[in-house]
Structure 1
């Protein structure tokens, strides 16, 4: 579902004034007082979300405490999940009649467009069949490659070379850094650009790879945590990595440089484990809101193949 001109639906709770738009004549010294939100107004996103939240609540939905865009409603017919992102929403339920009634109720409150079955959402392509749901980003990757101007047919099997360590001033500065800055940040050198080209070639070779979520998978949650140590040649910070499976399906992952410099590999591992545990607690709460509570402890595997 897509809400047309979503921000225009918001009601302002404070007094907001603006100068008259071109073509509107008012006595000198007068201004216009806004009674509804407009695009470009900083209060508009909040006003729209408050309006939608109140509407969803009036229809029997409860907002999730762990994802502000998720609303749920449980009845004898089943549980309806509604996920809102700005003006786009996904609605899912095993009860088709309940979804149809919800669409009609929302359409009576907002001007909306029914986009039918889910095929594309926030850069994700969604394909479904009798076995499950398949997610990929082929179109997003194709647009990225087109923007980068990569015209050769070369591909790479991995995003980066093994044991590659980049540092400032790695190689001579690029004569024209404009294209590189579209992909990363300032002060690019030749080695940085070579690394970016390899990433793009890896994406080209894996464009149609994706995630498959089977309908028959069980729903126990399990996680894996790891960290390297002293990997960044510039500030000697470590990198945290974790991922979580719900049954056979990968649902959450992260690889990010730590905010502080660890003084040992043990400290780096503990920092990674703390971030992983934080994600684990949030996932358990969110799954409970979505009707898939975890009734047993979640095993969390560390890099030494031990579970906690």
Structure 2
């Protein structure tokens, strides 16, 4: 935490800054936002997953819509663009949203699409992790296994 402007540091190390409000005006703003968001989404007909509370689904089969929330990022997926547009319009009536269009990155995953489907890759995240730990330029090493070791489906 950075000290507020005008606050002078004294030799007394027992001083503290008391938090009266968080950035958004509530001490538990993110929890309150998610509670409000959940109520709005459930009102629209989505069902909250019992195993992952940030996952909401609506419909089934060809008409399945999936909505997942991570902190303040919302990913909306479905097969029919008309249905997605209806959900976005509904959410924009209740919240200030910014549509980033096609999903490219989410939670460290790189998402790419082509005619055969959707591909997920952790390449960018892995390279960043190697760079952060200063091992990106390291030399390769053989895996420490016994050289003539044969793996079998039914033995060992």
8 Å contact kept, 2:68–2:75? yes
Could you state the TM-score of these two structures normalised by the residue count of structure 2? 0.70
Q: Indicate the residue corresponding to 1:134 in structure 2.
A: 119
Q: Indicate the residue corresponding to 1:223 in structure 2.
A: none
Q: How much has 1:111 moved relative to structure 2?
A: 1.4
Q: What's the CA shift string for 1:219-241, capped at 9, x where partnerless?
A: xxxxxxxxxxxxxxxxxxxxxxx
Equivalences for residues 136-215 of structure 1 within 5 A: 136-150=121-135, 152=137, 154-156=139-141, 158=143, 161-162=144-145
Q: Indicate the residue corresponding to 2:64 in structure 1.
A: 79
Q: How much has 1:155 moved relative to structure 2?
A: 2.8
Cα distance in 1 for partners of 2:114, 2:123 equals: 18
Q: What's the CA shift string for 1:47-87, capped at 9, x where partnerless?
A: 11101101101212111112101111128971211111111
Q: Describe the SS at the equivalent of 2:64.
A: strand
Alignment pair present for 1:99 and 2:87: no
Cα distance in 1 for partners of 2:87, 2:136 equals: 47
Q: How much has 1:116 moved relative to structure 2?
A: 1.2
Report which structure shows greater RCO (CA 8 Å, sep ≥6).
1
Q: How much has 1:44 moved relative to structure 2?
A: 2.2
Q: Indicate the residue corresponding to 1:111 in structure 2.
A: 96
Aligned length: 133
Q: Indicate the residue corresponding to 1:50 in structure 2.
A: 35
Alignment pair present for 1:61 and 2:46: yes
Cα distance in 2 for partners of 1:40, 1:140 equals: 34
Cα distance in 1 for partners of 2:64, 2:36 equals: 23
Q: How much has 1:102 moved relative to structure 2?
A: 0.8
Structure 2: 5+ residue stretches without partners: 7-19, 147-152
Identify if the C-alpha distance between structure 1 residues 157 and 44 changes in structure 2 by more than 3 Å, giving closer, same or farther.
farther
Q: Indicate the residue corresponding to 1:208 in structure 2.
A: none
Higher strand share: 1
Aligned residues: CA RMSD = 3.2
Q: Indicate the residue corresponding to 2:55 in structure 1.
A: 70
Q: How much has 1:100 moved relative to structure 2?
A: 0.7
Q: How much has 1:38 moved relative to structure 2?
A: 3.9
Structure 1: 5+ residue stretches without partners: 1-20, 24-32, 164-302
Q: 2:108 aligns with which of 123, 144, 160?
A: 123
Cα distance in 2 for partners of 1:124, 1:151 equals: 19
